[in-house]
Structure 1
C-alpha cells in the first residue's frame, strides 16, 4: 500500500498546487487546515454508499435534504423550495435546461435566452438536449446583461431565461430583477446561475456590501444553482440546484419501468452516485457553520479588494467592468506587452492565472479566482504581477508569422481531416504526450488568430491526444 501511495504522491507532484492561494483558477481553498481532514474522513465513511436508492441509504437522503435546506435558507427560499444535489455546476445548469424543456412539450422548437457571458455549461445543455440558444449581447462596458435586449429576445419558443450572479468571465452580477420580471411577464422560467456567487454573495451582504438582488426574493426567479465545492469550500464535486417549488423540479426526474430489472428512478443525470462527496460536503458545511462562512467571506472580500485595487494600479493593466464578487479579469492597455507572456511569467514565479481569449466585446484578458487563502499574500502576488508585466514589456509582443496567421484564419474546421488536424497541432506545439510546454504564450498567440470553431476543434483534438494511453 505504501508503494502505491508513494507513486500517487509522485504523480501529484507535477500538478498545480491546490492549497496556499497560488492557483487562481479551478480550486477553492479556505485556508482552514482541518477542513480537508474532516472532508476526507467523512468521504471515507460514506464513499461505499450509493445514492441511487435513498431508501437503501437513508443517511444520504437525510444529508441531501439538509444541504438543500441550508442552500435554500441562504438564497431566500421558502418552505416550498425544492432541490437536488448534483456533481457540479455544469450538471446543475444542464438539469435547469432539461427541466424547462420537458415542462413545455407543446413547444416544437424550444429555445433558451442567455447573455453572451452565460457559462458555457448552458451551451453544452442546448447541444445535448436539442434546444436552440438565443445569445444576447451584453453591455460592452459593464459586461452585464441588458434587460431590454433580453426581454426582446423572449418569444413563444422560449422555455428558459438565464442570467448570472456573477458571470464567470468578469465577475459581475447581471440585473436579475429586471430580467426576471421580463421572464415572468412572458410566463417563462428564469434561472440564476449562482454557481460561484451563491454561497459567498449572501455573506458579503451580511458584511455590509451592496450586493445586487439575485435570489428567490426576486419575483420571477424560478431556479438557482450554487456550487458547494466553490465558496462553501467543500470537496469536489457537489452542487445544489434549487427550484422555487417541487413541481418545477419534477421534469428533470427520470423514471423507467420498461425493462425487466428494477424501476430506475433518477433525480439527476447520474444513476449510481457515491455518498462520499455528499457526506464530505455535509460535514464541512456543518463544521464551518454560519460564523465560519461569515469569517471566510470577510477575509476573502479583503483579499479581493486589495488585489483588485492593486491590479488597477499597475501601469498597463485595466480591470474589466466592476466586479462585485470574488472574480477579477484584467486586460492590457496598448500593445507594449502580451498578456499571454504575463501568464507565463507569473507561472515562473509560482502563480497560475487563467488566460481568457477575446470574445465579442470582451478583450483577451487574465482571470483571477480569489479565495480566502489569498488573504495575507496580496502584496507578494501584486509584486510578482508587476514584475511579470515588466518582463513581458521587455520581451515585447509575441510574434505570429502573418502568413501563418492568415492561413489559420482561412481554415474551415468542418473540411479538415484528422491527419490535417494532427499537422496543425504539431505546428501549434500541441502534440499531447507529456502535455504542454512550459511557455504557453506562443501557442496561445497562435490560437488567438483562429476562429472560435477552429480553436474548439483544435483543442478537442489535443484533448484526444492527451487522453491516449
Structure 2
C-alpha cells in the first residue's frame, strides 16, 4: 500500500473516535485550546519516537529532560532540595510504583494500604498486582472527603501491617480535595507513608485559591503522583511520581544481574520505553511555563464555576459536591436517569461520562473541564438543559425486577464462557449471532450494569473486553 492509502485508512479509522480537541470531550482527553502547543508536542513526540529510555547513558537527553520536568515541579508542589522524581507512562503506573515502593520498603508480612472509598481504582489494580491488601474506609457522606477518623481506626486496627495511606487531590468521582493535613497528623507519628494522588489535580491546584495545603508543604506527605498528559496538556502518556527525599524512592528501582545478558536496571514498570512522550512533555511544559499554566488553570477553574452556577438553574439537576478543582459530579432527581442524559448529550456533540452508583452514592454524570471548554460553557449548558428536558420527556429507564434479582444471585466465579456470552446478549453488549460491540446508545446497557453487584459488573465487562478484542 502507498503512504497516501495508509494515511487515508488511518483518517477513516480516526473518524469514528471521540474528538480530542475542541473542548467537547469532557473525559479522557484534556485540551488547552492552544494549537501551537499541540503542534509542538506532536513534533517533539515524532523527533524522539525512536529513542529508548531503558538506558540513560545511551540517551542522556532523556535523562536531562526527566530532571528538568522534576525541577519544574519542585516549587509547584513545595518540594525541598531533596525532592526527587521519576517520569512514568501515566497516573496508573505512578500509582503502581508508589504502592510497590511502599510495600518493598516496609518488608512486612501481609502488607496493607488504607484508602478512602473514593480513591482511584488504580490503587485497586496496584494491590491486585502486588499482593497488597486494600482497606477502604468510608468517606464523609456529605462532603465526600476522606474521613480522618475512619483512617485512624484502620491504622489502629492493622498496625505495623500498614505500609501506606493514600488520599486524593482531588478525587476523580466528586472533584473534592481530601483533608491531607488531618490525615498526615495520623500517619506521621505512626511512621506510615502518605501518598497524595494528584494525577488529575497536580497541574491545576497549585494555581487555585483558598485551598488548604495538600502537597509537600504538609509535613508527612511522602509522595505525590501528578500527570502531565492531563492539565499540563502534553501528549499521552506522561506522569510524574515525586518523593519528598531519595530515601522514600530507593525501593522503587529494580535491578537484575542474575542472567547472562545485560544487567537490567529499571526505574519504572517498563524497561524499554519510548522517549517520545518525555520529549513532548518537556517541550510543552517549556512552552507554557509557570505563567501559561497559571492562565490555563484559571480559565479551566472559571469555566468550572460557570458550569456549577448554570447547573443550579436547571431543573432536575444539582452539583453533588462543590468542586475544588475542574471536575464536576452532576446529580439528577427521579424524573430522569443519568444514562439517558449522557446519551442525549452525545447526540448534541458533548461527551460526558456516566458514573454508576456505589454503596449509598447514586449514579452521577462526570465532567472534566479543560481550558478549551471554558469559552463554550454557555453552549454546554444549553445542550445540557435541552438534554434534561428530553430525558424527562422519556422518563427514567426501568430495569426489570427479575433481571435485578438474577444479577444479584450470580456468582461470577461459577460462570463459563457460554453463560457469559448469554449474559452479554441480555446486557445488550452482544447480538444473537454472538458479535460483540458497544451499541450506539448505552443508556439501557448502563442502567442494567448499574444494578448489578460490582463483582458481576466487573466480570461482565471483562468478558466484553475479551470478546471485543478477539
Q: TM range, normalised to the smaller chain?
A: over 0.9
User: Which runs of structure 2 are paired with 1:157-306 in the superposition (5 Å)?
Assistant: 157-204=161-208, 209-306=209-306
The equivalent residue for 1:415 is 414
Q: CA deviation at 1:72?
A: 2.0
> Shift of the alpha carbon at 1:312?
2.2
User: Which residue number in structure 2 is paired with residue 137 of structure 1?
Assistant: 138
1:402: which partner in 2? Answer: 401
- Consecutive aligned runs of 4 or more in structure 1 exceeding 3 Å deviation: none
What's the counterpart of residue 392 of structure 1? Answer: 391
Q: Secondary structure at the match of 2:380?
A: helix
2:123 aligned residue: 122
| 1:49-77 CA distance string (max 9 Å, x none) | 11000001000000001001111221010
Residue of structure 1 equivalent to 2:450? 448
Q: Paired residue for 1:81?
A: 83
Give runs of aligned pairs for residues 336-347 of structure 1, distance below 5 A: 336-347=335-346
TM-score normalised per structure 1: 0.97
The equivalent of 2:102 in structure 1 is: 100
Q: Distance in 1 between matches of 2:11 and 2:365?
A: 30
* CA distance 1:274–1:433, change in 2 (3 Å): farther
Give 3-state SS (helix, strand or coil) of 2:299's partner: helix
How far is the alpha carbon of 1:434 from its aligned partner? 6.7
Number of the residue aligned with 1:349: 348
Structure 1 pair 239–433 and aligned structure 2 pair: CA distance change class (3 A): farther
Provide the C-alpha distance between the structure 2 equivalents of 1:404 and 1:47, rounded to a whole number of angstroms. 49
| Kept after mapping to 1: 8 A contact 2:181/2:218 | yes
| C-alpha deviation, 1:433, in angstroms | 4.7
Q: Measure how far apart 1:427 and its partner are.
A: 1.1
- For 1:148, the equivalent position in structure 2 comes to 149
Structure-2-length-normalised TM-score: 0.97
Where structure 2 has 5 or more consecutive residues not aligned to the other structure, the ranges are none
Deviations 1:388-444 (A, max 9, x none): 111010001112222222212211111111110110001111128573111111111
Q: Secondary structure at the match of 1:265?
A: strand
Q: What's 1:326 paired with?
A: 326
> Which secondary structure state, in structure 1, belongs to the residue aligned with residue 115 of structure 2?
strand
1:429 is the counterpart of 2:428: yes
Q: CA separation of 1:462/1:3 partners in 2, compared to 1, >3 Å: closer, same or farther?
A: same
Q: SS where residue 328 of structure 1 aligns?
A: strand
Quick check: 1:55 aligned with 2:80? Answer: no
2:468 aligned partner: 466
1:338 and 1:361 mapped to 2: Cα distance?
16
1:72 aligns with 2:74: yes
SS of corresponding position for 1:318:
strand
Q: Say what the alpha-carbon RMSD is for the aligned residues.
A: 1.0
Secondary structure of the corresponding residue to residue 376 of structure 1: helix
Evaluate the alpha carbon distance shift between residue 14 and residue 417 of structure 1 in structure 2; reply closer, same or farther with a 3 A threshold.
same
Map of 1:8 onto structure 2: 10
Distance 1:177 1:82 in 2: 21
Q: Which runs of 5+ in 1 are unaligned?
A: none
Post-superposition Cα deviations, 1:175-227, rounded to whole Å, max 9, x if no partner, equal 000101101111100000000111111012xxxx2122111010100000000
Distance across 1 between alignment mates of 2:312 and 2:467: 39
**Aligned residues between the structures:** 462
Give the Cα–Cα distance (whole angstroms) in 1 for the partners of residues 382 and 132 of structure 2. 47
Contact kept, 8 Å, 2:203 with 2:297, in 1: the verdict is: no
The CA distance in 2 between the partners of 1:374 and 1:185, in whole Å, is 43
Aligned to 2:314: 314
